Structure 1
Amino acid sequence: MPIPPSLTVVIAAYNESEALPLLHPRLVQALAGTPVDARILYVDDGSRDGTWDALQRLAESDPRVSLLRLSRNFGKELALTAGLDLVETDAALVLDADGQDPPELIPAFVEKWREGFDVVYGTRSARAGESWLKRATANAFYRVINRLSDTPIPTDTGDFRLLSRRALDGLRQLRERQRFMKGLFAWVGYPQAAILYERGPRIAGGSKYNYWRLWNLALEGITGFSTVPLRAATYLGLATALSAFAYGGWVIAKTLLWGDPVQGWPTTMAVMLFLGGVQLVALGIIGEYLGRLYLEAKQRPLYLVRERWPRD
């Protein structure tokens, strides 16, 4: 009998004690119909509720389950990195803990993988349970970052995807601290395929991503995969300087030809505020990139592990 390929499902969870007991049975049922040697790795990203206790109960009842507990909340991107770093199987599949991405699609992902695709990702054709504002801003973000970045990032696509062994090995070489996983998944390249699906509402609990965290994630993506904002700041500064020089030349010529009756205070203030605003915007953009260089220069570890299950 041929040995079936092995697969690890990686799930990062933060304060998901209500959702995990509902998600796990669905996951088990989906894996039962999949021709793989399946394992499940849950990563507790420093939860403050009963998530770790709920995960231990799942591990005690299912020998395929292993657990990783981080020392604090590092954020979803680093929690996923911690989980994927531990995968030793032929492939890994990333699944959200909130149940919005259906585990019932795992057999379809595995089928695409066995056809020869190294990365199989789920693309949302519908997003139930989300406000129109969140859908609109997400749609706009994917369009903007694809115009700015040299790395094509699939639109309307989250972290729900399968990675082959060589894609995982490539991903492990990317150790930057400020991580935008959707971009890193795309950066590794290799043959990729999409599976359309309708994303459902959360099965329990509430979203851990408010608009402020989503905005910061968008900044991570844009600054991590594009230098266009820096170039735009350069061009904006150049255009502003040329305009200022032209206006200054006009003021000097007008004074020499017709004199100056000491008027123009509103114009002076408008020009000063405009130039000051442009400078502050340019400095802000430069500061974003400089801050990321500062964090990278510290060379701190990406995450710290508090506990593993089963214990070493």
Structure 2
Amino acid sequence: MQDIDPIEQAEAAPFVVSLIVPVFNEAEAVRRFVDTVTQVLAGVATFEVVFVNDGSRDATERKIEALMAEGKPLRLINLSRNFGKEAALAAGLAHARGDVIIPMDVDLQDPPELIPEMLERWRAGAKIVNARRIDRSQDTWAKRLSAAAYYRIFNWLAENPIPSNVGDFRLLDREVVQAVLQIGDRSRFNKGIFSWVGFETVEVTYERPARADGASSWSWWRLWTLALDGIFASSTAPLRIWSYVGGTMAVFAFAYSAYVFLSVLITGRDVPGYASTLIVILIFGGLNMVALGIIGEYIGRIYYEVRKRPLYIVRSVKESED
């Protein structure tokens, strides 16, 4: 009996690829995205595009419905309002039917041309294939600098580091998605979750192209909020750090108190105290406020978790007819 190469057997077996695409006011970009994906994946794999409409206020929903009427292999998950990209991505993972799931952006900065290579790595046995950006020259210098700093800080604090310059664009095996769907966190940071679940992971690299259509809806404030959510959802290290800061400051305070006591006892000279007392009060007051803010961030997340509200609400689900 002839032995069958497991890789060749995997290549011959039929499979379905689900592309998870959260959209928010992306009416200008959806057609180009669908046309590009169709061209790249035609003959490579059976696929579906799962658009998650995250409360768009423009013509995004109508544009996707028009493409569905043309017979494109699309599904449309309409959320009841804007819940944010992390929740929209979770909704897409819950509704995807494929054996392989690939979250990606609609602006084509996650190049569909990379998907065949990612599928080859999956056929070879990988459960997660990360797409890492090796060139971000299309981003502003401020965004590149802040992103590099964030990855360093996050991986220094987090119990499970995340790969640098890897966004949501990655290939996930169905087994990985089933594991992710078991996680009920309301404060969602999907990059940290993908790292936490484990599984065999490999990497492909690409140069990040410019955005094809429209403009990004991500403001600096939203990016800052996402960054904080990522850190506080993935680590308790900030609380531990403030224990060390408090201990260090207490040591200095005791040392300074001993110095003042001995100075007065030995020399009999009063130590001028107004300026030094004011400085110490201001420093400790500022540190206390920062520490309380960090504690408040964790308490706020506990509040969201114990309410057990759903991560998102689906308004409707639409699908192209076969």
What 5-or-longer segments of structure 2 have no aligned partner?
1-8
Q: Which digits, 9 at most, give the CA deviation of each residue in 1:267-303, with x for residues without a partner?
A: 1111111111121111111111111111111100000
Q: Superposed, which structure 2 residues align to 1:102-251 within 5 Å?
A: 102-251=111-260
Q: Superposed, which structure 2 residues align to 1:61-72 within 5 Å?
A: 61-72=70-81
CA contact (8 A) 2:260 2:271 kept: no
How far 1:85 moved relative to its partner?
0.4
Question: What one-letter code is carried by the residue in structure 2 that aligns with 1:30?
Answer: V
**RMSD, matched Cα:** 1.7
In 2, Cα distance between the equivalents of 1:295 and 1:222?
A: 16
Query: Compared with structure 1, are the counterparts of its residues 255 and 226 closer, same or farther at alpha carbon in structure 2 (3 Å cutoff)?
Result: same
Q: Superposed, which structure 2 residues align to 1:11-26 within 5 Å?
A: 11-26=21-36
Which TM-score applies when normalising by structure 2? 0.93
Q: Which digits, 9 at most, give the CA deviation of each residue in 1:74-130, with x for residues without a partner?
A: 000000000100122212111101111111111111111111101111100112431
Q: Which digits, 9 at most, give the CA deviation of each residue in 1:135-158, with x for residues without a partner?
A: 111111112211211212111011
Indicate the SS of the match to 1:16: coil
CA contact (8 A) 1:142 1:155 kept: yes
In 2, Cα distance between the equivalents of 1:220 and 1:49?
A: 28
In 1, Cα distance between the equivalents of 2:23 and 2:264?
A: 69
Q: Which digits, 9 at most, give the CA deviation of each residue in 1:18-42, with x for residues without a partner?
A: 01111110011111041x3211111
What 5-or-longer segments of structure 1 have no aligned partner?
none
Question: What one-letter code is carried by the residue in structure 1 that aligns with 2:33?
Answer: L
Q: Which digits, 9 at most, give the CA deviation of each residue in 1:172-213, with x for residues without a partner?
A: 011101111111111111011111001111111111111111
Indicate the SS of the match to 2:56: coil
Q: Which residue of 1 aligns with 2:105?
A: 96
Q: Which digits, 9 at most, give the CA deviation of each residue in 1:221-267, with x for residues without a partner?
A: 11111211111101101111121122122222222333354722111
Quick check: 244-253 or 228-237, which moved more? 244-253
Query: Compared with structure 1, are the counterparts of its residues 25 and 63 closer, same or farther at alpha carbon in structure 2 (3 Å cutoff)?
Result: closer
1:278 counterpart (259, 282, 287): 287
In 1, Cα distance between the equivalents of 2:72 and 2:223?
A: 36
In 2, Cα distance between the equivalents of 1:128 and 1:309?
A: 38
Question: What one-letter code is carried by the residue in structure 1 that aligns with 2:119?
Answer: V
Question: What one-letter code is carried by the residue in structure 1 that aligns with 2:290?
Answer: V
CA contact (8 A) 2:264 2:270 kept: no
Q: Which residue of 1 aligns with 2:3?
A: none
1:4 maps onto 2:40 in alignment = no
Question: What one-letter code is carried by the residue in structure 2 that aligns with 1:21?
Answer: R
**Matched positions, count:** 311
Quick check: 273-282 or 159-168, which moved more? 273-282
Quick check: 16-25 or 122-131, which moved more? 122-131
2:276 counterpart (252, 267, 286): 267
